[in-house]
A and B are shown apart, each in its own frame.
Chain A
C-alpha cells in the first residue's frame, strides 16, 4: 500500500484530542432515585462499566475516531500495489482507431495515463510518448505529476495510422539511459506482441466500415478529365449495406450502394468529366453515410486537377516533335516564337518557356521557368557520350509519371549550378540525362542532356507525356501520384512555400481568414484539405485516414475494466471510497447524536 500524501498521517494527533474531549467531565442531569443499591451492585459486578461510563458514549467515540481515520486515509490517497521507485515511460496510442466509440477509447487511455502520472515523484519520474503516425515525445521524465496530467489533458488524438514499433523503440532507448528500475507502460486498444511492456487496453471490439482508398488521376486520353478510384471495406462480423456518397466541392454527384460481406472490400471507379471540373477548386469527398464504430474513416478527400490552361512559349526554329507533344495536351495553350524574338519580360507572362536546342546569351535564370531541350546553361565541357540504357533513379519523380523508358541517347554532360536545389531522375554514364533545378522564390528549370537529334525518344509514346510532365512541374501543377497524402505523413514544403497547420473540409479560403502557416516540414495529423501558399500561387493538399489496420476494430479489446494503475470499485478510486465511508460514518454519528437528544 502506497500513499500519495503520507504527511496526512500527522492529523492522527487529533484522535488524542477527541478522546480527551470524551473524558472531560460534563454536566450531567441530576435524577433522584429511590436507592443506589442496584446501581452500586451493578458497578461492583461489572467494574468495566465504570470506565465505559467515564467515556460517556463509547460508540460515538469509536465512530468519531473511525471518521477521523477515514478522513486521514482519504487525504493520504492510498494506492494499492508496489510503489514504483524507478523510471516509467508511458506510451499512449493517439492513432486514428483510438477515436472509436465517439472518442471513449482515447479518453479512457488519457485517464489511465493520468492515473500513472498522478503517482509521479522525484524518485519515480514518468515520461510520456505518444504514437501519432510516428513517435511524439509529450514529456521527458518528470516528477511533476500536475504538469504531466495537464500535458495529457491537452493531448489531441490524431487521424494518423502507422506502427508502434518505432515509438516503443524510442521509449526503450529513453529508459535504457535511466538508472534504477524501469517500466514501459503501453496504453492502446489491442494487445501487443511484446514482452517487455505492461499493457493497459482501453479498446472495445466494434463493427466498422471504412473508405480504404480514394485516388484520382487525369484520364490519359483526356487529362482534363479525372478518373476517381474508391475502395471501401467492411470490418464487421456480418455483411453490411454500405452507401457511398461522392461530392465535388460540396455538391453530391454520385450515390452508390454496396452489399459488402464481413472482411470484404469493394472497389469503385468513375470518370469525372472535364466540364464538371471547370466550375470549382476540385475538392472531391467520398463518404459512407451510416454510423459505425469509427467515424474518422467514413470520409476521404482528394483533389481533382483543374484550373486554367497552361501557357507555354516554345522558342524553336522547327521541332515538330515538341510542337506535336504540346498540342497533344489539351491543358496547354502554346505559342511558338523564333529564338531571336525572345524578350526577358516574356518569362513572367508564361507558365513555362521551352528553349529548343539554343538559348539566348546572358539569359537570367532567376525568376523564370525554363525547359532547355538539347542545349542548356548547365552543360559542362566534355565529349558527348552514348548512353544505351539510361537509368531511372527515381521512378516516382513527377517528370517521369507514366514514362517507362526513353531508349538510347547521345548525351552531353550536365552539372547543376551552385546554390540551386537539384534532382536527376534519369542518369547515364555517371552524368544526369535530365536535370531539375529549383531555387527558393519560384525559379524552376529543367534541362535535358540530349536534343531531338540525339535520341529516338521523340518517336516514343512517352515523349508527349514527358513534355507534359515537364510543363506541369515547371508550372507547379505536377501529378503527385494519387494526389492524396495519408494522415501522419510529413509534408515538406517546397522552397518559398508555406502550409496551413489546420485542415479544411473543402479547398476554399474564406474571405478575411488568415490561417497559421508553417514553412518547416509538418506532420499532417488530421485529414482534410491543407492550403499551401507558394510564391506564385495557392495549392491544396488532400490528407486522408485510410488504413485497414486502423479501421479493423474487431481486434480491439480492453483490460476488463481494470486499469493496471487505477484500482477502483464501482468506478470509484480507493480514496474516494474511503471518503464515502467517512461520510457514511458521519451520518451514523449524526443519527446516534439525534437519538441521544431526542430520547
Chain B
C-alpha cells in the first residue's frame, strides 16, 4: 500500500494536527484495560460518579471527610473508571472499490479507504484504544489482530499494505454478519465501503447495529460514479462480474443516473440516521485534511 506509508501523506504537520483529535463514540462500552475512555465501571479517575456507604475493606483514602464533617457518616466518593475501547475498522476490498475511471489519476476508492483506515487506526492508538482491522468483500478476508499503543501504527500500515486476494463481488450481509457473530466485545465499528452491494446494504449494516456496535459507515465513492461524463453508444460492463448493459448515454439518461445516485445516497444516510449509526460520504477527490479534520468532526466521528 504505497500511499498509506508514504511519509508526505502523514507528514509531521498533519500528525501534529491529529494529536488534538480523538475518536468519539456515542455509547459507553466496558473495557479490559485502563485507558482514556469513560467506562460503566467506577474507578480511579478524577471524574466524579457517585457516593455510597463505607463498608469494611474499602480504601480509606476514598472516604469523603467533608461529608463526614457535616453528617458524621462515612461515605465513599466514587469516580468513573476510564477504560480502553475496541475499535474495529472494516475495509471493503471488493472489485468495485478498486475501480477507477479510465484516465483518472486520483486514488481509487480502496486506496482512499486504506488511508482513512490508517488515520482512524492512528487516532485509536493515540487514544490508547484497542484497534483491529478487517478486509472484506463477499466475506471476511483478513484480520489484523488487536493493536494497542502508538508503536503499533507501523503494524497497522503493514497490514493495510498486504491486501488479500479479492473474490471480486460484494456481500455486506455475509461479511458484516460474520464479523458481528465473531466479535464478543462490542465497540466502535467503522465500515469503509462504497455500499454497492447488489443485494442491498441494509442487512449487512443491521447485523452490526443490531448487535449494539457503535456503527459508523464511511461511504467512499468516485466522482465519476456520481456524475458520469461518458456519452454515446456504450456497453457497460460491471467490474464485479455483474453482467453487461447497452445504453445510449445522452443528457437525459445521465441526468436520470445522477438523480438515482443521489437517491441511493440519501437512502443510506436515512437508514443510518434511523439506526443511530454515523454516516460520512466521501468522494475520492476530496482533500484529505478536509475529510479527517472537518467532515469527520462535523459528523461526530472525531472530536
Contacts and interface: CB of A to CB of B under 8 A. Distances in A.
Given A53-B247, A53-B253, A56-B233, A33 B260 contact: no
B96 A596 contact: no
Contacts of B54: none
Interface stretch (A37-45, A200-208, A404-412, A519-527): A37-45
B243 to A, nearest CB: 7
A589 to B, nearest CB: 15
A278 interface: no
A256 interface: no
Nearest to B198: A37
A82 interface: no
Nearest to B248: A53
B99 A34 contact: yes
A39 B196 contact: no
What is the predominant secondary structure among interface residues of chain B facing chain A?
mixed
B96 A40 contact: no
Nearest to A56: B248
Interface in B33-85: none
B253 A42 contact: yes
Interface string B218-236: 0000100100101111111
A591 B225 CA distance: 29
A29 B228 CA distance: 15
Interface in B242-270: 242-243, 245-248, 250, 252-253, 256-257, 260-261, 264
Contacts of B261: 38
A255 to B, nearest CB: 80
A49 interface: yes
A509 interface: no
Contacts of B257: 38-39, 42
Contacts of A52: 248, 252
A42 B260 contact: yes
Contacts of B196: 34-35, 37
B240 interface: yes
A41 B200 CA distance: 13
B198 A35 contact: yes
A33 B236 contact: yes
B276 interface: no
Nearest to A39: B245
Contacts of B235: 28-31
Contacts of B232: 29, 596
A596 B232 CA distance: 7
A49 B253 contact: yes
B18 interface: no
Contacts of A31: 102, 230, 234-237
A45 B256 contact: yes
A238 interface: no
A599 B230 CA distance: 9
Contacts of B302: none
A343 B22 CA distance: 158
Interface residues of A, number: 28
Contacts of A41: 260, 264
A26 B233 contact: yes
Interface in A20-36: 26-36
A422 to B, nearest CB: 99
A593 to B, nearest CB: 11
Contacts of B252: 49, 52
A104 interface: no
A28 B222 contact: no
Among the interface residues A26, A31, A34, which one has the most CB atoms of the partner chain B within 10 A?
A: A34
A401 B266 CA distance: 118
Contacts of A28: 233-235, 246
Given A46-B256, A56-B248, A33 B239 contact: yes
Contact of B237 (A33, A42, A49): A33
Interface string B6-21: 0000000000000000
Contacts of A43: 245
B194 interface: yes
B231 A599 contact: yes
Nearest to B261: A38
B237 A32 contact: yes
B248 A35 contact: no
B238 A36 contact: yes
Nearest to B94: A34
A53 B246 contact: yes
Contacts of B233: 26-29, 56
A40 to B, nearest CB: 7
Given A28-B233, A34-B196, A40 B239 contact: no
Interface in A389-439: none
A259 interface: no
A28 B236 CA distance: 9
Nearest to B222: A34
B256 A36 contact: no
Contact of A35 (B96, B102, B231): B96
A57 interface: yes
A21 to B, nearest CB: 14
B264 A29 contact: no
A452 to B, nearest CB: 117
B231 A34 contact: no
Interface string A460-492: 000000000000000000000000000000000
A46 B259 CA distance: 12
Nearest to B256: A42
6 contacts: A26-B233, A29-B234, A34-B194, A38-B257, A38-B261, A49-B256
Closest 10 CB pairs of A and B: A34-B99, A34-B96, A28-B235, A28-B233, A35-B196, A53-B248, A30-B235, A38-B260, A36-B238, A42-B256
